[in-house]
Amino acid sequence: MSEPVNLLDFDVNGLIAWFAERGEKPFRARQVMRWLHREGCDDFERMTDVAKSLRAKLAAEACIRAPEAIRDSVSSDGTRKWLLDVGGANAVEAVFIPETSRGTLCISSQAGCALDCAFCSTGKQGFNRNLSAGEIIGQLWLANRLLGATGKAGGKDEEGEPLNGRVISNVVMMGMGEPLANFDNVVTALSVMLDDHAYGLSRRRVTVSTSGIVPAMDRLREECPVALAVSLHAPDDALRDRLVPINRKYPLAELMAACRRYLERAPRDFITFEYVMLDGVNDSDAHARALVRLVRDVPCKFNLIPFNPFPNSEFRRSAPERIRRFAGILIDAGIVTTTRKTRGDDVDAACGQLAGQVQDKTRRTVRLAQSTEARS
């Protein structure tokens, strides 16, 4: 007997096609999508407006399987982090950040990460595999259930848009992994987030963060343009090659050109550049002025991120006054600049701290240890 199909792996078009193979009409797929994602239903018998014969067919051939929460940590500031079992001795993490006018869920796209950014705890653990579409959207599905989300209307966010009773109003693909290195599964999950039969999130409220995989940025622009954040972290190729190794393949000139192309279809009229503040590395006045020159033709805003230390890191966080001075240079040049408030650092949920537990099939940890021994 074949393994049951996980319905969370489908967007609406995929579910329509799967239903069509079983002689079912498209509206049945949309019905089931609403039960799955609006109601968070995991029991076919509760889908009361679905034909009994179809419910029996689903029970025989399908399942609803999201990652299981094996740890649930709540920070003193209300940030909530879940460690999620994705099988094969691997776990990933999702983080919910509550604020007065919105609730943001940060979700993962891979078990580990292959890009090895120098300042990132997640990148230091190696890479195992891409998450399936069901494992990605399953983080949102599960978080809604654990947070007690309802479908009741009411309330508006800071931009005056209705929250429609959502506990989670924004989703950011900024957890473990590089989303655009898992393109097809990420886009399927994005489609579910945006679908009015599912979560109905605005494209403006769904953000994909990338370290700069240029061909995939162009594909995202064509297939599913949502808000885009680019992990920049350096104003020149020499420094970015060190901090963000993917820059050696797609240097800054190519990345800036891709950002300009993306804006032609983006739901927001700017790119967000993320910039981690590393003491004595990328935080000087000269670095700030170089950034101004770099992005002069790219409508953008900067999100400065105080570095979050982790064991055996070579970096330190820039001093608050240094960050303020750096931000001031960008602001004086007319660039909207914010400094990210550190949230959830007492449960290791802050930016760059998502390490989880990953079976390192790249053997990066072993190679790094051997390299260190050879130098000593």
**Enzyme catalytic residues:** 93, 351
CA distances from 60 to 3, 248, 371 (A): 10, 50, 52
Quickly tell me which residue has 């950040």 as its tokens. Answer: 97
Q: How far apart are CA 342 and CA 358, in angstroms?
A: 25
Instruction: Classify residue 123 by its DSSP letter.
Output: G
Residue type, 218: D
SS3 content of the chain, % helix, strand, coil (to 5): 40, 20, 40
Q: How far apart are CA 8 and CA 5, in angstroms?
A: 9
Cα-to-chain-centroid distance, residue 303: 16
Q: What is the CB neighbour count within 10 angstroms for residue 275?
A: 26
Q: Which residues contact 57 (CB under 8 A, 6 or more apart)?
A: 22
* CA nearest to 113, candidates 97, 96, 99, 130: 130
Residue type, 134: G
- Decide if 154 contacts 101 (C-beta within 8 A): no
In degrees to the nearest 10, what's the CA dihedral of 225, 94, 178, 311?
A: 150
How many CA atoms lie within 13 Å of 142's alpha carbon, on the beta-carbon side?
28
Cα-to-chain-centroid distance, residue 191: 14
Instruction: Classify residue 7 by its DSSP letter.
Output: G
* CA nearest to 50, candidates 28, 72, 20: 28
